[in-house]
Structure 1
Amino acid sequence: MRKPTVGSVAKWVALVLFCVWTIVPIALVVLNSFKKAKDIFTTTPTLFFTPTLDNYVNAFTKANFGLFYLNSIVVALVSTVIVIVVGTFAAYALTNFRLPFANAIAGGFLLGKLVPVISILLPLFVMINAIGLRGTLAGPIIAHAALNLPFVIWLMMGFIRDVPRELAQAAMIDGCTRMQIFWKVIFPIILPGVAAAFVLSMQYSWNELLFSLQLTTLDTYTLPVGIASFVGAISVDWGLSSAAATATMVPLIIVGFFVQKHIAQGTTGGAVKG
């Protein structure tokens, strides 16, 4: 067996430290969600305690957390679907059609993503308020779609450019239209990119606080806004907040689990195998 080198030991140490840095805060939140207040506020952290579901029951029955959960599902899914559909077709048009100033348009989309989000808040708030959508779920849906669309277009353009042009040319010779080429040839190959864009857009919309806080009211609060409301001016309900945060993690973990194989696939692997 080879002796461990300084470089390999350093890599393992860095990996362990990164795992601890990532996993420990999440583990503490999950553990606190099952603790009573007296166990949370002990001087030394307790790993062995009598678990309770009171925090989850209170979150869904007394704190309107169920409504916040439903609002977030609607906002995240609708905005993500809009972004994926519009962004994928826009990327396909910019990379495959001979459009004037296509590169400049693509650069403009990327530039829009580089602008600080806080600078977009005021004009977007004014426009959504002017058309009467503030306080509705349509407000954060529009805001999240506008914020995610430039990134998805830029991401999908990279995936579509990697598709061998010979495949599209062969399909065109066989009599396929451009839309048939997209659905039958290009889309199966860029599916990993679509999955990655879906997860990233969903994650952003699910966790976004700033725009949701300004564009929603009590009946349309999303999860981040609802969890923030558990933080009082004097004290914080740590058990309720931990239960809400734990329940908020579950959907993204499930989505990531089901699409991980698509994200891991190569962008042109299907073309070679086919």
Structure 2
Amino acid sequence: MRKPRFNTIGTWLALALFTFWTIVPIALVVVNSFKKAKDIFTTTPRLFFTPTLDNYVNAFTKANFGLYYLNSTIVALVSTVIAIVIGTFAAYALTSFRLNVANTIAGGFFLGKLVPVISMLLPLFVIINSIGLRGTLAGPIIAHVALNLPFVVWLMMGFLRDVPHELHQAAMIDGCTRMQTFWKVLFPIIFPGIAAAFVLSAQYSWNELLFSLQLTTLDTYTLPVGIAGFVGSISVDWGLSSAAATATMVPLIILGFFVQKHIAAGTTGGAVKG
């Protein structure tokens, strides 16, 4: 009786430590975003202070943060939608057409995800610069699609392989084309996978700094590049950067909670039960 109790206590203790390790840095950023500079740089952290919205006002007015927000929204949405569409149909082709080289192609996509991201920076920079897209939003969009596509293909192939092949055959016997089979039969089943791929791809694009820094200019900066600009060579504007970071976290948190129920609800078992 004592051993399960000890395991339970250890599990809860590990979860508590992990939660503390995760939540505390985020909480400090959020709290600092409402502090004045004199409250941030005190020797002893102040738990009680007069909150202010000056950091948020300065971020969206003086620091041109609203433009960075719009740029990141466009880049993240467009690149994610393109990666999801191409990646899902590529995974569908590799799993449904019974290609002899399907596993080799899938392994190639997975290998592309294992390659260090920084090694792709130079060739992508040269390509995008040579076609005149550096300094436009199309530059980071192309880069983020290239970076997210291997992951989307690999993830969606896992979901599509779990769908019983009898569903394909039944739909084809009923007169459906392959596209009709995909939209009417497969899409409702693999929607949790699409939702997961959408959230993870959008999160990567939203937070990506390296490619966005090299492929954008002042008018096309994304949020990570804009926040990095708050770090000076001598000092850091902690209030402004904390407000920017807090405003940057909000959309992804909302998106995660919104899609979470779809990820948990979808199973292939319900599709073959009837």
TM-score between both structures, scaled by the size of structure 1: 0.97
The runs of at least 4 aligned residues of structure 1 exceeding 3 Å deviation read: 1-4
CA distance in 2, matches of 1:73, 1:207: 11
Report the counterpart of residue 17 of structure 2 in structure 1.
17
Q: Which blocks of at least 5 consecutive residues in structure 2 are unaligned?
A: none
- Cα deviation 1:167-221 (Å, max 9, x = unaligned): 1111111111100100000010000000000000000000000000000011000
Provide the secondary structure at the position in 2 that maps to 1:179: helix
> Residues 172 and 66 (structure 1 numbering): CA distance in 2 closer, same or farther, change over 3 Å?
same
1:128-207 superposed matches below 5 A: 128-207=128-207
CA distance in 2, matches of 1:9, 1:254: 32
Report the counterpart of residue 73 of structure 2 in structure 1.
73
Q: Which blocks of at least 5 consecutive residues in structure 1 are unaligned?
A: none
Residue type at the aligned position of 1:155: L
Residue type at the aligned position of 1:139: G
Report the counterpart of residue 48 of structure 2 in structure 1.
48
Equivalenced residues, count: 274
Q: Does 1:121 align with 2:100?
A: no
Report the counterpart of residue 63 of structure 1 in structure 2.
63
> Residues 2 and 100 (structure 1 numbering): CA distance in 2 closer, same or farther, change over 3 Å?
closer
RMSD over aligned CA atoms reads: 1.4
Residue type at the aligned position of 1:17: L
- Cα deviation 1:55-87 (Å, max 9, x = unaligned): 000000000100000000000000000000000
Report the counterpart of residue 37 of structure 1 in structure 2.
37
- Say whether the 8 Å CA contact 1:32–1:238 is kept in structure 2: yes
CA distance in 2, matches of 1:250, 1:273: 39
Provide the secondary structure at the position in 1 that maps to 2:122: helix
> Residues 12 and 173 (structure 1 numbering): CA distance in 2 closer, same or farther, change over 3 Å?
same
CA distance in 1, matches of 2:227, 2:148: 23
Report the counterpart of residue 221 of structure 1 in structure 2.
221
Question: What is the CA-CA distance between 1:265 and the residue it aligns to?
Answer: 2.3
CA distance in 2, matches of 1:3, 1:243: 47
Question: What is the CA-CA distance between 1:269 and the residue it aligns to?
Answer: 3.8
Say which is worse superposed, 43-52 or 223-232, in terms of deviation. Answer: 43-52
> Residues 153 and 40 (structure 1 numbering): CA distance in 2 closer, same or farther, change over 3 Å?
same
TM-score between both structures, scaled by the size of structure 2: 0.97
Report the counterpart of residue 90 of structure 1 in structure 2.
90
CA distance in 1, matches of 2:5, 2:100: 56
- Say whether the 8 Å CA contact 1:87–1:153 is kept in structure 2: yes
Residue type at the aligned position of 2:203: Q
Residue type at the aligned position of 1:126: V
CA distance in 2, matches of 1:218, 1:270: 51
- Say whether the 8 Å CA contact 2:33–2:240 is kept in structure 1: yes
Question: What is the CA-CA distance between 1:5 and the residue it aligns to?
Answer: 2.5
